[in-house]
Amino acid sequence: MVEQSTDWSRADAASIAAGVAEGRVRARSVIEATLARIGRVDPAVNAFTDVTAAHALAAADAVDARRAAGAASGPLAGVPFAVKNLIDCAGLPTRAGSTINRERAPAARDGALVRRLEAAGAVLVGALNMGEYAYDFTGENVHDGDSRNPHAAGHMTGGSSGGSGAAIAAGLVPLTLGSDTNGSIRVPSAFCGCFGLKPTYGRLTRAGSFPFVNSLDHLGPMARSVTDLALAYDAMQGPDPDDAAATARAAEPVLPGLDSGLGDLRIAVAGGYFARGGDPEAFAAVQVAARALAATRVVEIPEAARARAAAYLITAAEGAALHLDRLRTRPEDFDPAVRDRLIAGAMLPAPFVERAQRFRRWYRGAVADLFADVDVILAPSTPCRAPPRGQTHFTLDGVSLPVRANIGVFTQPISFIGLPVAAVPVWLEGGLPLGVQVIAAPWREDVALRVARVLERLGIVRAPIAELT
């Protein structure tokens, strides 16, 4: 084999898979280049907590051996990927961003989504930094150090999948997995300028991952292109009896229809709650996308502010219940900010949580009614660009607010009822990227990704690699 001189360490997943399948590059060469780039660049980014080099090289050799034997290479052949460290990686303790969890026994096998990606030919190269126990929107971690925004190292990556976003933006890997409970894929996608997919609740199995809020937790991919999102998403679909929340629906691949255009899709912009409480640039990014899509209709998602409040109550109560024993026995080993919020959640009166769940049922029905008249709703991902690391307060609409608690102001009302969202990055003049949520009805990831793909083809959204070296 005569390999091409392409810099495979910076290539997208689709290009790598095609190169390996066509014999233009060995999977091992891709992984060697990836590991070298991680070693060279990650010290400035702090995206990785663990690099599984020996495993990755052995897996790459297995991909090459299958191809040499004439077997199918797989849709993600040789594609390096890394996962948020709350997803099990065989041989590593599943940290979940904490100091306590790293004392656990190493995982006996990879998480379900890791296994599905590997079955498609992808190669796991390591685990990624995150906010402690996923209770974070900033990307800051007192145990492993902050992940750093590759486009501006002094700024936040967003969280809690901060390492996942940073690894994509730094060009360390073309594909990562994150989790999203209240916005933890969409916020880093916005701050780091990459693409993300929060699927419908229950669409992708969570088996083999450390939970945060069972009734809100999602897992999903992050990437530098919409095609790469679709490739990964299709590879990970399918029922799983090991996750009680996983849908029994058969896989519904999105890649075949990804480039079918808008057709007669009805696209609207979220008004009301989603058009206030943020910096002007956040809403300008939505308008840029709306104009490109000729979307002039405005809809109001009813009671979104109340939905956010209810999401907070459920998050705090379920999260506290999960960690109650650790809070009792090892309170000093938590990040104090995380510990204090969990303790507050443990003190919530049960009737408050029950009312939040009742409201959730009503809200799900009210939003479903909206999707009888529209197919896609556009909304900002965050209220601002990435703040500086360490900043504790920002000013929105003239009001000083805590950063950690308010970065997810526009994401929480959406994940609260498990809607699928393609998160797309918009670059306006003035520096760091912003994000737009492309929100669809349940189980219509195909629609959200089609719209994201149109925006990408028009050049409205893009995910450049930060020029670190």
- The residues carrying an active-site annotation are 84, 160, 184
Whole-angstrom distance, CA of residue 382 vs CA of residue 298: 19
What is the distance, to the nearest Å, from the Cα of residue 238 to the centroid of all Cα atoms in its chain? 19
What dihedral angle (degrees, nearest 10) is formed by the CA atoms of 448, 81, 39, 62?
-160
Q: Phi and psi (nearest 5°) for 193?
A: 70, 50
- Strand-pair partners of 394: 401
Three-state secondary structure string covering 98-139? CCCHHHCCCCCCCCHHHHHHHHCCCEEEEEECCCHHHCCCCC
Whole-angstrom distance, CA of residue 171 vs CA of residue 168: 5
> 222 near 178, Cβ under 8 Å?
yes
Whole-angstrom distance, CA of residue 114 vs CA of residue 105: 19
> 390 near 196, Cβ under 8 Å?
no
What dihedral angle (degrees, nearest 10) is formed by the CA atoms of 202, 204, 209, 212?
-40
Half-sphere exposure of residue 56: CA atoms within 13 angstroms, side-chain side = 26
Find the distance separating the first CA and the last CA of the chain, reported in whole Å: 29
How is the beta sheet containing 175-180 ordered, strand by strand?
A: 48-51, 123-128, 80-84, 175-180, 218-223, 195-198, 421-426, 434-440, 376-380, 267-270, 297-299
